[in-house]
């Protein structure tokens, strides 16, 4: 087939073809973009509502955690207050500080006695006595017996009981001494 168009017209036709093609592509892209935006609006709204729900849940958890922490603090304060009241009982003739100092002083004088714990149970008005449990480790049986006798002689305790089962070893004896203090 014969080509009757000049080179300038061919170039112009190609330019116009490219322009129409680009216009069509841009138009299709803008339509796709428009529909994409329109279709993403519901998802955006759903995500906004879920974000608000999560924020409200986080605020509720924070408020609940703060309340629980406050309750824990109040509970700790109440326990501390009870412990302070125990140490300041006016009806108890023996102060806890004197009791602890006496027991430690006796142990230091004898040597070879290490304490694991000292428990004090305040008796009620009916019992008229308090209990003290002294536990620890003694280097030898003789030092443990001397410690027990020194507690009896100290005059602070009404009765001092050392279970025989604590004396079954010769060295490194674990012991638990029960002592009674009169509240009268």
What pLDDT is recorded for position 87? 66
* CA proximity to 165, closest of 132, 142, 141, 130: 141
Burial (CB count within 10 angstroms: exposed 0-12, middle 13-18, buried 19+), residue 113: buried
Q: List, for residues 97-121, the tens digit of each pLDDT value.
A: 788 888 888 888 888 888 888 888 8
Does the pTM surpass 0.75? The reply is no
Question: Phi and psi at residue 156, in whole multiples of 5°?
Answer: -80, -25
Q: List, for residues 139-162, the tens digit of each pLDDT value.
A: 888 888 888 888 888 888 888 888
Q: Taking the CB of residue 89, how many other CB atoms lie within 10 A of it?
A: 14
């Amino acid at each position: 087939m014969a080509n009757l168009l000049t080179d300038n017209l061919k170039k112009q036709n190609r330019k116009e073809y490219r322009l129409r093609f680009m216009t069509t592509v841009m138009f299709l892209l803008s339509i796709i973009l428009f529909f994409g935006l329109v279709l993403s609006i519901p998802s955006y709204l759903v995500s906004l509502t879920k974000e608000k729900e999560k924020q409200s849940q986080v605020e509720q958890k924070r408020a609940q955690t703060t309340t629980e922490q406050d309750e824990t603090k109040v509970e700790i304060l109440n326990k501390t207050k009870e412990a302070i009241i125990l140490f300041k009982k006016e009806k108890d003739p023996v102060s806890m500080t004197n009791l602890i100092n006496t027991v430690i002083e006796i142990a230091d004088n004898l040597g070879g006695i290490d304490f694991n714990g000292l428990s004090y149970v305040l008796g009620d008005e009916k019992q008229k006595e308090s209990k003290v449990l002294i536990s620890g480790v003694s280097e030898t049986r003789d030092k443990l017996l001397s410690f027990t006798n020194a507690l009896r002689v100290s005059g602070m305790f009404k009765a001092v009981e050392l279970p025989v089962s604590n004396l079954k070893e010769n060295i490194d004896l674990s012991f638990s001494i029960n002592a009674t203090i009169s509240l009268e």
